[in-house]
Structure 1
């Protein structure tokens, strides 16, 4: 892991996950607040969450991948796409960012509007088991969209920011009625910490998204579109020491140029 953690790019990526999750939670929860003058519509909330994700993916995707979601980060690890260290620090940054975003929103919102700060809650007519299935399915489609949209082995994928944003939007259009729509443990965790309201079914908003995203990862990366890699390369990815052929060639060219510029 030494090679990965010592790079400035890695530190920037972790910070970006914190920042982007902060912004996402602030915007998403803010759109769902019940102001006395007007109540938010389902479409308004769905578009706010979807457009926020699309904007942040476009802005920060090239720096960290813009996961903005512990379930997505864990799923990328399960798919052998990122290291264990990156997974742990990304998830930590996302959770802290979610708490910060919810905290800022709480601080700037009038007391008569805060309510429960749009925490996720299961519909009274829905059982925890039913809610779990809903969260699994909604997060499965989101994760599958992310994997396919960001797969560098594909050509002509269009705009990942647009497709991922639409996936989040459609998830909210369906899921809000059931659970308030989580698809993201950080989105559920942040406001719960700030308001100190953890329901007995809070586990649904962790288990459902993580399980759904990991199922999508196993299906996409190991069955539908598997990577042909040997075991040593897979272990190197987990450790954070893996070098692709493209990276190795770039470093070789840089070393070659350095030798040519060095006077005898």
Structure 2
């Protein structure tokens, strides 16, 4: 685990998650609060497209750097799927939370004086149990789509996952404001210091992401149950399994990477 922290590519990936999540939250929240007629159906279309297209653009920009998780539920799903190490998952989640706070802070600073909202996720006429179920099921679908479209074992055209996720926002905006991303929910909550029922927007998505990974890896498209290989990935990252090396921060002439 310590060795992964010494690679420059790791810190580039962490920075990409901070920057990417900041832009995602800024774009999505700006769309959700920038229209006075928020009670009309066109608002839901605009917000759903804003989030979906923002993720599509960011995926093209940083997937090769960090994988473009931009969501703690996705990072947890990738961890359960044994495609990233424990330490990478932890740093990614912290980076995503930091990016969400920065993005929310920027929106707070540039929003018009007449707007007093910050796109806070809240329950709209549903109970806590219903909200948990909605967040769980929609995040499960989203992470399942992420795992499937990013699966390098697949052949042929796999489509655009981010654009397919737009349907999730269409469905959920009216009920919970469509969390399905704990970082996106955390940013506005911290900036406004409003954490009422906030646990729902962590518990639902994280449980959904973990279950999606189990379903995909062990039932739908099994990767195998080699515990030793999985332990190597959890401890040292996927590179430990495929045998790739990464120069340490000391330079390529320094100590060679050990796997």
Could you tell me the TM-score, scaled by structure 1's length? 0.87
Looking at structure 2, the residues matched to 133 and 157 of structure 1 have their Cα atoms a distance apart, in angstroms, of 32
Report 1:1-264 matches (<5 A). Answer: 1-36=1-36, 38-39=37-38, 41-113=43-115, 115-123=116-124, 125-159=125-159, 162-167=160-165, 169-199=166-196, 201-228=197-224, 230-240=226-236, 242-245=239-242, 247=244
Shift of 1:245: 4.0
Structure 1's unaligned 5+ residue stretches are 252-264
1:24-70 CA distance string (max 9 Å, x none): 0000000001444x546110000000000111111101110000000
Structure 2's unaligned 5+ residue stretches are 248-259
Q: Which is richer in helix?
A: 1
Shift of 1:246: 5.9
Query: Structure 1 residues 245, 75: CA separation in 2 closer, same or farther (over 3 Å shift)?
Result: closer
Looking at structure 2, the residues matched to 196 and 130 of structure 1 have their Cα atoms a distance apart, in angstroms, of 24
Could you tell me the TM-score, scaled by structure 2's length? 0.89
CA RMSD of aligned residues (A): 1.9
What is the aligned length? 244
Partner SS, residue 152 of structure 1: coil
